[in-house]
Amino acid sequence: MIVYFRSMRIKDEAKQSAIIDATVKLVNEIGFVSSSVSKIAKEANVSPATLYIYYKNKEDLLVSTYLEIKQRLSEEILSEFNQNAPIRDSLYKFWTNAFHFISQNNSYFQYTEQFANSPYSEKVNHEDVEKSFTPIYEVLQKGIEQKIIKNVSFEILSVFMFYPIMNLSNARLCKNITADSKTIEDAFQLAWDAIKL
């Protein structure tokens, strides 16, 4: 909770978001290795010292940026979710939402992939992150109960439902794929065939 005491100059929200954008941009272009605080600050048009007003240190900046993007991703995936739709339709909606978010925000997504595969990953509470995606697990659970979906662990199901799409729409890993509608349809059919009973 923020306490406003007598008088207080307020943090510039545009600056905060400029820092996040600069972090994502630089990390994708030159990697974690070369993305120094000074370079990020210069890219965001702020002083290096300013960064330490918004974040405890560099690690805090990188972790917070990861969590911020994961949050946006979960919101995008779950948008327009209809509890009452058939299970296959719900999953198709999640799937296409994910595809479009990743395609249209490739630098943000690549940041999270680079982050998740690095030791920084150990600094986040992944259970908390997974909570944002619970509606997906609920749909899968309902599918298992209705004997529409195979009765295997959630890890296996989600790894087939969502990791292929993440790779197909990641420009760094998959250079020959375009996000045309046939690709999306083809790929979803494979994902569905994988998990359906």
Partner DNA sequence: TTCTAAAATAAACGATCATTCATTTAATGT
Partner DNA sequence: ACATTAAATGAATGATCGTTTATTTTAGAA
Say how far apart CA 44 and CA 46 lie, in whole Å.
Answer: 6
Q: Which residue stretch of 2-10, 87-95, 110-118, 161-169 sits at the interface with DNA (rule: CB under 7 A)? A: 2-10
Smallest separation, CB 5 to its own copies (Å):
38
**Site residues for its own copies, window 134-193 (CB under 8 A)?**
150, 152-153, 155-157, 159-160, 163-164, 167-168, 172-177, 183, 186-187, 189-191, 193
CB 21 within 8 A of CB 44: yes
Give the count of residues interacting with DNA (CB under 7 A): 28
If the CB atoms of residues 132 and 170 are measured against its own copies, the closer one turns out to be 170
Contacts of residue 34, defined as CB under 8 A and 6 or more positions apart, other chains included, come to: 26
Q: Which residue stretch of 15-23, 47-55, 108-116, 139-147 sits at the interface with its own copies (rule: CB under 8 A)? A: 108-116
Residue 196 has φ and ψ, to the nearest 5°, of -70, 150
Binding partner of 186, given DNA, its own copies, none, CB within 5-8 angstroms per partner class: its own copies
Residue 176 is encoded by which pair of tokens? Answer: 């020959």
CB 171 within 8 A of CB 106: yes
Alpha-carbon 20 to chain mean position = 14
Binding partner of 79, given its own copies, DNA, none, CB within 5-8 angstroms per partner class: none
Q: Is 31 in the site for its own copies (CB under 8 A)?
A: yes
Q: Is 123 in the site for its own copies (CB under 8 A)?
A: no
From 197, 92, 84, select the one nearest 145 (Cα to Cα): 197
In order, the DSSP letters of 131-157 are HTTHHHHHHHHHHHHTTSB--S-HHHH
Residue 141 is encoded by which pair of tokens? Answer: 């659970």
The residue ranges that bind its own copies (CB under 8 A) are 28-33, 110, 113-114, 116-121, 126, 150, 152-153, 155-157, 159-160, 163-164, 167-168, 172-177, 183, 186-187, 189-191, 193-196
